[in-house]
Structure 1
Amino acid sequence: MNEKFFNLSEEKRVCIINAGYRIFAENSYRKSPVSEIAAEAGISKSLLFHYFRNKKELYLYLLKYAAEITFTYLNDYRCYEEEDIFEIMLRGLTAKINMMKKYPDITRFTLRAYYETDAEVADEIKALIGRTASYGANSSKLKLDPAQFKDGLDLEMMYNDMYFASEGYLWENTRSGIIDVDKAERDFRKMINFWKLLYLKQE
C-alpha cells in the first residue's frame, strides 16, 4: 500500500473508503468492479491503483480499517468501562449508529466479508477476523451476576438474543440508506427497557 494515501485529506480518504464499502457491500469480492469504486470516489482507476496495488490490497485494507474504526467508536463511547450489560448494549449501539453516519455501508460490508468464500481473500479474512475478535465484548467476557436475572435464565442465550436483535436492527437501517440517529437511539432505549422487563428480576 502506498503511504501517499494517508497524505490525502481526511475528506478524500473517507470518500474512497466509503466508495469501497458500498461497492464491495453490494457485490461479491470477485464481482466488485474497481472501476466503479474509483468512479464513485471521483478518481481514476489508475490513481486508485497508485494508492493500492490491486483489488485484494484495497479490500483487506477496508476490512482491517472497519475493525479498527469500530473499536475506536466503541472506545470513545466508553463501552468497555461499563459492567451493566444493558448500558453496554446501549453505548455499543449508539456508537455503531454514529459510526454509520460517517461510514454508511460499513456494516453491510463487514457482514458480506464475513461470509466471503473467494479463495483469493478467504484465508486473509479468516485471519483478520481471528485477530480482531477481541475488539468487541462477548458473553464470555461480561461480568454477569446471575442473581440479578430471572431464575433459570441462560445468560449466554440472553446475550446472543440481544446482540443479534440489535445487529439486525442496524442491518435493516443500513439497507434503507437513511440513518436517523435520534430515532435509532430512541428505538434502542425502548428495546433495552423491554429486555430489562423480560430478563431482570423485578423488585
Structure 2
Amino acid sequence: MNEKFFALPKEKQNTIINAGYRVFSQNTYKKSPMSEIAGEAGISKSLLFHYFHNKRELYLFLWNNCAKLTIKYLTEYKCYEQTDLFEMMYRGMKAKMRIMNLYPNMGSFVIKAFYERDPEICSAIQESYKSYKAFKTDNILASIDTSQFADGLDVKMMYREMTLASEGYLWEVQRNEEVDVEKMEKDFTKMLEFWKTLYLRKGGEK
C-alpha cells in the first residue's frame, strides 16, 4: 500500500474506507469494482489504485482495519480493564455502537468477508480471523472474575454463547437502513440481565 494514503486528512481516509466497506458489503469480492468504490469516495479510479495497488490489497487493508478499530474503541471504553464480564460486554456494546456511527457498513463487511470464498483472499481472511479471535477470547477470559458465576459453569462456553448471540443481534440491527441506538442499548441491556439470571450465583452478583 502506498503510504500517501496515510498522508491524507483523516476525513478523506474515512471517506475512502467507508466507500470500500459499503461496496464490498453489498457484493462478492469478485463483483465489487474498484471504479464503484472510487466513485463512492469521490476520487478517480487511477487515484484509488495509487493508494492501493490492487483490489486484494484494499480488501485486506479494510479487513485488518476492522480489528484495529475494534481494539481501539474497546480500549477507549476500558473494556479490557473490567473484571466483571457483564460490565465488560456492556461497555463493548457501547464501543461497537460508536463504531457503527462512524463506519455504518463495517459490520456487514465483516460478515461478508468472513464467508467470502474467493481463493484470492479467502485463506488470508480465515488465518487473520483465527489469530484475532484467539487473542480476544484468551485476554478477556484471563481478566474476568469467575467467582461471580454458578459453580461448575463452563465459562468459556458461556462467553462463546453470549458472543454469538450479541454478534447475531448486531448483524440483524445492521440490516436495517436506520439504526435506533436507544433501542439497541435497551435490547442489549435486557439480554445482559437475562444472562445474569442464568449464570450468576444464586442471589445475584457476589
**How far off is 1:129 after superposition?**
2.2
Task: Report whether the alignment pairs 1:141 with 2:142.
Answer: yes
Q: Distance in 1 between matches of 2:130 and 2:87?
A: 26
Q: Distance in 1 between matches of 2:108 and 2:196?
A: 29
Q: What is the identity, as a one-letter code, of the residue corresponding to 2:196?
A: K
**How far off is 1:68 after superposition?**
0.5
Aligned to 1:87: 87
Aligned to 1:167: 167
Q: Distance in 1 between matches of 2:134 and 2:69?
A: 14
**How far off is 1:156 after superposition?**
2.7
Aligned to 2:15: 15
Q: Distance in 1 between matches of 2:142 and 2:105?
A: 28
Structure 1 residues 158 and 128: CA distance shift in structure 2, 3 A: closer
Aligned to 2:188: 188
Task: Report whether the alignment pairs 1:30 with 2:30.
Answer: yes
Structure 1 residues 7 and 53: CA distance shift in structure 2, 3 A: same
Aligned to 2:4: 4
Q: Distance in 1 between matches of 2:179 and 2:137?
A: 24
**How far off is 1:119 after superposition?**
1.0
Deviation digits for residues 38-87 of structure 1 (CA, Å, limit 9, x no counterpart): 11111111111111111011001101111111110111011110111111
**How far off is 1:152 after superposition?**
4.5
Aligned to 1:52: 52
Structure 1 residues 135 and 74: CA distance shift in structure 2, 3 A: farther
Task: Report whether the alignment pairs 1:105 with 2:105.
Answer: yes
Is contact 1:16-1:38 (8 Å) kept?
A: yes
Aligned to 1:71: 71
Q: Taking structure 2 as the reference length, what is the TM-score of the superposition?
A: 0.89
Q: Distance in 1 between matches of 2:2 and 2:192?
A: 44
Q: Distance in 1 between matches of 2:7 and 2:46?
A: 17
Q: Distance in 2 between matches of 1:150 and 1:37?
A: 50
Aligned to 1:202: 202
Deviation digits for residues 20-50 of structure 1 (CA, Å, limit 9, x no counterpart): 0111111111111111111111111111111
Q: Distance in 2 between matches of 1:141 and 1:36?
A: 44
Indicate the larger mover: 123-132 or 79-88: 123-132
Q: How many residue pairs align between the two structures?
A: 202
Aligned to 1:125: 125
Q: What is the identity, as a one-letter code, of the residue corresponding to 1:100?
A: M
Is contact 2:114-2:125 (8 Å) kept?
A: yes
TM superposition outliers: structure 1 runs of 4+ over 6 Å: none
Q: Distance in 2 between matches of 1:129 and 1:164?
A: 15
Unaligned 5+ runs, structure 2:
none
Q: What is the identity, as a one-letter code, of the residue corresponding to 2:33?
A: P
Q: What is the identity, as a one-letter code, of the residue corresponding to 2:149?
A: F
Q: What is the identity, as a one-letter code, of the residue corresponding to 2:43?
A: I
Q: Taking structure 1 as the reference length, what is the TM-score of the superposition?
A: 0.91
Is contact 1:97-1:170 (8 Å) kept?
A: no
Q: Percent identity?
A: 52
Q: Distance in 2 between matches of 1:18 and 1:50?
A: 18
Is the partner of 1:30 in helix, strand or coil? coil
Give the aligned CA root-mean-square deviation in angstroms. Answer: 1.9
